[in-house]
């Protein structure tokens, strides 16, 4: 019998703020007071400015305190926090904190709630119900349910998952694969990591459903090397799933086999591009492949392969559990379901906010994010990672919707929003976009390999010149962007022009260009 149950997150964000020391100090203080505490390690709720956020189990539900430092621990015990007592770090009932309460958590329903590596916890919180439904269906029927849900790829391209699965299902092959793209290279994004660290079984379940649907027997998770905690958590969860027969030669006694292996990247952004990722898994240098053939027809080792992002796959269990229609009823237009939005940069309350599509950028940045951390006005936001456009404050009423953002020359991508205040220099940001492309280009095609370096030089030329020369250099930069967009083989070279041209269009003054010039 314990005197109390406490949750201390083991998510990287919380660990970076001292969660491990806080857990040890809580344990030591409890022992000093002769209390038998059960300290459980959970994922993060995604309220990152409050980490380490410690929760205690009370009769009223879980009560949160944060951000907790070692120096606060004695006073927390003195305040009877084990029964939810009042303390200056008290945040009330966790589920009632507005930041959390106003979300629509479908994919992230268990993150921060569960012990990530306890399969019993997972099953007790509705885990593996999606797989149970899937195992009672035929492959084509599962694919139709996913198609009905409207789920689109959350890795960036927003391609409908159902169509991709159908192609892999119909492709001929003695061996098929499911590959999970966990490279998560976009700036300001961390939802994949949070799932892998906070609820790895939901990803494993999603991959298993994909495999059963298309007839694959082997899966791979391609994980970025910068995620050591996710790697450990996934390793532990895969081992448990194998032991409990959720993975292996006879998944849940169905007679169907599915296994998952982990592959760790070496730190190249391009290895997140799906065909470069396949090359990397095959042990080769990460270079982009020509398409066709599509990976769904001839992918890993030339075999039909479903490639999906972590969030895409982790959204599948709830779709199979509750039905495609249930999921489709969230969202707007062709953006159906929910999106785990990652809010970062110069913002007061950074974190993970899962909302149905349709919420506006302004609501996310002000109502959730509380505006800038610096207290200065928001000037620009970059949505969709390093290849996303910079949107000015005047465009913040745009809804989080693939089509609405694309119509404004932007990109929703993996759902990352990075906020900048009015001290940002957009000419430097434009130069940085080109520099990033030059650093990360795989080198296969000329517009990207050479154009990105020339792009940096031309931004420098704009900044160093005046009058007609400045105008000519700005024209040259636009021409170069057109060439890169039209002539690059993949979206690294093809989309780098987005942040550059958006800066030239909406922040002309930072280049010293007259307002009358319409880039
Ligand atoms: C340069 C580049 C980097 C990419 N990086 C990632 C990544 O880190 N994670 C990811 O899921 N998709 C990434 N993608 C998109 C993938 O190529 C692919 O569309 C995605 O993995 C498919 O899964 P989805 O349909 O579930 O989104 C990247 C694409 C490009 C062009
Ligand atoms: S656009 Fe860049 S990253 Fe993509 S294939 Fe061409 S050189 Fe490689």
For residue 441 and ligand 2, the question of a CB distance below 6 A is answered with yes
Is the pLDDT assigned to residue 71 strictly greater than 50? yes
End-to-end alpha carbon distance in the chain: 70
What is the best residue among 193, 274, 280 to mutate for testing ligand 1's pocket, by most ligand atoms within 8 Å of CB?
274
Residues contacting residue 237 through CB under 8 Å, at least 6 positions apart: 116, 117, 119, 200, 201, 204
Residue nearest to atom 1 of ligand 2 (CA): 493
Confirm or reject: Cβ of 448 under 6 Å from ligand 2: yes
Q: Which atom of ligand 1 is closest in space to residue 270's alpha carbon?
A: 1
Mean pLDDT of 78-98: 98
Choose among 325, 349, 502, 343: nearest CA to 427. Answer: 502
pLDDT score of 479 more than 70: yes
Task: State the pTM of this model.
Answer: 0.98
Q: What pLDDT is attached to residue 292?
A: 96
Bridge partner list, 381 = 391, 419
- Sequence-separated (6 or more) residues with CB below 8 Å from residue 118: none
Question: How does 386-395 read in b/e, with b if 16+ C-beta sit within 10 Å?
Answer: bbbbbbbbeb
Q: What percent of the chain has pLDDT over 70?
A: 99
Tell me which ligand sits closest to the C-alpha of residue 445.
2
Q: What angle do CA 244, 247, 252 make, to 5 degrees?
A: 65
Nearest ligand by distance to the CA of 437 = 2
Atom of ligand 2 nearest to the CA of 440: 3
Q: Tell me how far the alpha carbon of residue 269 lies from the centroid of ligand 2, in angstroms.
A: 11
Cα–Cα dist 349/315, whole Å: 25
CA–CA separation, 447 and 240 (whole Å): 47
Q: Which ligand is nearest to the CA of 442?
A: 2
Q: Is the pLDDT of residue 516 over 90?
A: no
The model's pLDDT over 386-431, given as tens digits with 9 standing for 90+, comes to 999 999 999 999 999 999 999 999 999 999 999 999 999 999 999 9
């Amino acid at each position: 019998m314990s005197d109390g149950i406490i949750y201390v997150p083991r998510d990287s964000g919380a660990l970076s703020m001292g969660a491990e020391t806080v857990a040890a100090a809580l344990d030591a203080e409890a022992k000093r007071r002769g209390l038998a505490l059960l300290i459980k390690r959970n994922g993060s709720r995604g309220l990152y400015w409050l980490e380490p956020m410690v929760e205690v189990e009370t009769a009223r539900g879980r009560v949160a305190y944060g951000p907790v430092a070692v120096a606060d621990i004695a006073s927390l015990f003195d305040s009877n926090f084990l029964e939810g007592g009042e303390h200056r770090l008290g945040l009330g009932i966790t589920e009632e904190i507005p930041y959390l309460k106003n979300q629509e958590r479908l994919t992230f329903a268990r993150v921060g709630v569960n012990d990530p590596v306890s399969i019993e916890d997972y099953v007790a919180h509705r885990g593996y119900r999606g797989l149970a439904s899937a195992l009672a269906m035929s492959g084509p029927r599962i694919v139709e349910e996913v198609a009905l849900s409207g789920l689109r790829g959350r890795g960036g391209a927003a391609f409908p998952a159902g169509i991709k699965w159908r192609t892999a299902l119909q492709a001929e092959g003695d061996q098929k694969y499911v590959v999970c793209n966990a490279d998560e290279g976009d700036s300001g994004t961390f939802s994949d990591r949070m799932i892998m660290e906070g609820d790895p079984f939901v990803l494993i379940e999603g991959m298993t459903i994909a495999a059963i649907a298309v007839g694959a027997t082997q899966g791979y998770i391609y994980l970025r090397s910068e995620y050591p905690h996710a790697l450990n958590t996934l390793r532990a969860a895969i081992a448990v799933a194998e032991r409990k027969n959720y993975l292996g030669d006879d998944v849940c006694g169905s007679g169907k086999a599915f296994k998952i292996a982990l592959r760790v990247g070496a730190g190249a952004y391009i290895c997140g591009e799906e065909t470069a990722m396949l090359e990397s898994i095959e042990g080769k240098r990460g270079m982009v492949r020509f398409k066709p053939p599509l990976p769904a027809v001839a992918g890993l080792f030339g075999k039909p392969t479903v490639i999906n992002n972590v969030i895409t796959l982790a959204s599948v269990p709830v779709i199979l559990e509750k039905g495609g229609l249930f999921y489709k009823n969230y969202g707007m237009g062709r953006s159906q379901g929910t999106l785990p939005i990652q809010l970062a940069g110069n913002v007061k309350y950074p974190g993970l906010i899962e909302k149905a599509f349709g919420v506006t950028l302004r609501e996310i940045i002000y109502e959730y994010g509380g505006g800038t951390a610096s207290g200065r006005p928001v000037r620009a936001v970059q949505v969709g990672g390093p290849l996303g456009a910079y949107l000015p404050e005047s465009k913040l009423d745009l809804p989080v919707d693939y089509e609405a953002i694309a119509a404004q020359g932007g990109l929703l991508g993996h759902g990352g929003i990075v906020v900048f205040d009015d001290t940002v220099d957009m000419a430097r940001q434009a130069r940085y976009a080109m520099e990033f492309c030059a650093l990360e280009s795989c080198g296969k095609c000329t517009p990207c390999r050479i154009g990105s370096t020339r792009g940096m030089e031309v931004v420098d030329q704009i900044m160093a010149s005046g009058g007609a020369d400045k105008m000519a250099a700005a024209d040259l930069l636009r021409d170069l962007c057109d060439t890169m967009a039209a002539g690059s083989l993949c979206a690294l070279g093809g989309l780098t022009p987005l942040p550059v041209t958006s800066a030239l269009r909406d922040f002309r003054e930072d280049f010293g260009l007259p307002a009358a010039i319409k880039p």
